[in-house]
Structure 1
Amino acid sequence: MREVAFIKQNKEKWMSFETAISNNDFKNPDELASQYIQLINDLSYAQTYYPKSKVIIYLNQLAAKAFQKIYKTKREDSNRIITFWKTEIPMLMYQYRKMVYLAFAIFTIFTSIGVISAANDGEFVRSILGDQYVNMTLENIEAGNPVAVYKSGSNWGSFIGITVNNLRVGIMSFVLGVFGGLGTIYILFKNCIMLGSFQYFFYEKEVFWESVRGIWIHGAMEIFAIVICAAAGLILGTSILFPGTHSRFTSFKKGVKIGVKILISTFPFTFFAGFLEGFITRYSQEMPHAISVGIILITLGCISYYYLIYPFVVNNKHNVKLIS
């Protein structure tokens, strides 16, 4: 069958299905599931015979909406919070995994720029971090405790202040995505340059390992969460730039909804990172290496599994074959 004939034959059915999903106009879940199966069959047919067609993108997006609607309908009496964390966020992370990969790629490039700049310009670190902070850190290094800055202030004061600041950075990373993603990239650039130059500074002073044992106790979750927030900002930006088959405003609303959900999912990790920085990092130099390294590996492993691996587990479990 020619592609034009295929679209003409099924167009009315697809549009009717899309309208029903948007208006929640289904008499029962079985009706929705039945039409969903037909849609998946059409998607498979299109992927086989028209692999380069834009209709695949449309059907894929429609299938994603239908799946979420089916799951929601079947789980009306279940715990909404559990569903959010156990299924909804992982499915979104799977569907938008390329944006997550892009955010990490940008993070890596900008951090590398910070390292290279600090390595080639002796005054670069001071221009980024300020003379006062650099001088204080040099004094701490000479005193044998490179990360003594994390001992300043009370436990609770540090925890609250740090958490509020990290939440602000994460929220700004998402919200500024409204400028076509450029605002998000700027926030990443600013923070990654600082991170790269900061870490090189410790390397240059031959206390890199000591800094890693301290900074990354909380930094593993803190930095990872900010990158995920940046991915949400990029999703928002691309929803404006590339609306696809939707109107730009409809696509924008969808981008906001998805981005906010992803942003909220990072909050517990950000809170826990703040707790670690306020209550644990300050003791990093006194604790055994095995404990500090163990904390870093466990925290990094947990957040990496949830955002990078678990989405594939959930997708395979529900047998939803979508492209993105």
Structure 2
Amino acid sequence: MNLLASDGVRQSLAGFRSERERDWKAFEDLIDRAEKYSPKALTDEELLSLPVLYRSTLSALSVARATSLDSALIAYLESLCLRGYFYLYGARRGLIERVADFLIRDWPAAIRDLWRETLASVVLMAVGFVAGFRLVASDKTWYDAIIPASLAGGRGPDATVEWLRRGLYDGGDGYLSTFAAYLFTHNVQVSILAFALGFALTAPTVLLILMNGCILGAMFQVYWSKGLGYEFGGWLFIHGSTELFAICIAGAAGMRIGTRIAFPGTQSRMRAASKAGRVAASAMVGVAIMLLAAGLLEGFGRQLIVSDSMRYLIGGGFLAFWLGYFYLVQADTRGGKS
């Protein structure tokens, strides 16, 4: 009886193979050629036959599993069906397409989604700026408390107008170049920390943005008091319009995560944080791009361009570009996630 049963299973397996193996092999051959070369290697008829052969192979796998046929055959069919699924239905976008999709849709959509938090960051930085300006204006000793003495190098409230002016246009003895390098490095760190520390219910993010504005306000007050406010503003604005905007966006990303953790609404905290994290992550990838652009402007544009009006024009142009790119021009997101 056992021999008869074994013969019956072998005959059943042989019959199963003879009926369907041709379709499996044909499907495998088409997938091999398409993966090795490209879909252009297949004729129109072969391309049209791919979904039909895939369904036939999938049906064979279902029968093989239900009748407990050879385990090696089941593994082969599972592997072939998996390859067919990913080829027919999986995403096959190239790197250029993914980058373009991020720049056209994902990044601007994330920034627009964060507009409330971004506005709050801008207000916080402005408050810090005013606070730093007024503190130094009321008491010069506040300058040393806000700006490290090793960085100030004596260029504080007691510096001469000629000394400060020379640094704005020809670098002087390198003080402003040092300060610019410090400011850029500091702003990159602030951007990263403002985002990363947002998990702590946004409090560290708020303090970082306030402090960053305070440093700018303290430095600006020194130049303003010497009648060089307009000149220092141009020196800073050419790259600061991009750099400071990036910091505000990073702060907004951190705030979004922190507020969602603190106030998840009807969702669980984990789900709310996960959803906020996807938006914030897209925004932070864009922040890195903005900081790179700001670094190039700081390293080349600020040093090569000494005209105050041109510095303001370039800085204003970049600010207008970012605002238009993020908030005015909206790509068609039908069929995709905005």
Structure 1 residue aligned with 2:195: 174
| Cα deviation, residue 270, structure 1 | 0.5
1:152 is aligned to 174
Q: 1:127 maps to what in 2? A: 145
Aligned to 1:233: 254
Q: Against the structure 1 CA distance between its residues 243 and 288, is the aligned structure 2 distance closer, same or farther, given a 3 Å change threshold?
A: same
The answer to whether 1:193 aligns with 2:211 is no
Give me the TM-score of the superposition, normalised by structure 1. 0.65
- Structure 2 distance, partners of 1:158, 1:146, is 11
- Aligned to 2:166, the other structure's residue is in SS state coil
Tell me the residue number matched to 1:274: 295
Amino acid at match of 1:142: E
- RMSD over aligned CA atoms reads 3.1
Number of positions where the alignment pairs a residue of Structure 1 with one of Structure 2: 240
**2:109·2:326 contact (CA, 8 Å) conserved in 1?**
no
1:292 aligned residue: 311
Alignment of 1:35-46 (within 5 A): none
- Larger Rg computed on CA atoms: 2
SS of equivalent residue, structure 2 residue 140: coil
Q: Which runs of 5+ in 1 are unaligned?
A: 1-72
Counterpart of 1:116? 134
Q: Distance in 1 between matches of 2:154 and 2:197?
A: 33
Give per-residue Cα distances to partners, 1:162-206, cap 9 Å, x unaligned. 655433221111001010001110110111111111112210111
Question: How far did 1:290 drift?
Answer: 3.6
Q: Is the contact made by 1:93 and 1:307 (CA closer than 8 Å) also made in structure 2?
A: yes
1:283 Cα deviation from its structure 2 partner = 3.8
Partner of 1:21: none
| Cα contact 1:150–1:278 (8 A) shared by 2 | no
Q: Is the contact made by 1:140 and 1:146 (CA closer than 8 Å) also made in structure 2? A: no
Flag the structure with more relative contact order, 1 or 2, with Cα contacts below 8 A and sequence separation at least 6.
Answer: 1
Q: CA deviation at 1:161?
A: 7.4
The Cα shift of 1:96 comes to: 2.7
Contact 1:229 1:263 survives alignment (8 Å): yes
2:283 aligned with 1:262: yes
- What secondary structure sits across from 1:113 in the alignment? helix
How high is the TM-score relative to the length of structure 2? 0.63
Is this contact kept in 1: 2:167–2:173, CA < 8 A? no
Cα distance change of structure 1 residues 170 and 223 upon mapping to structure 2, 3 Å threshold: same
CA drift at 1:107: 1.8
Distance 2:138 2:184 in 1: 33
Counting only pairs closer than 5 Å after superposition, residues 215-226 of structure 1 correspond to structure 2 as 215-226=236-247
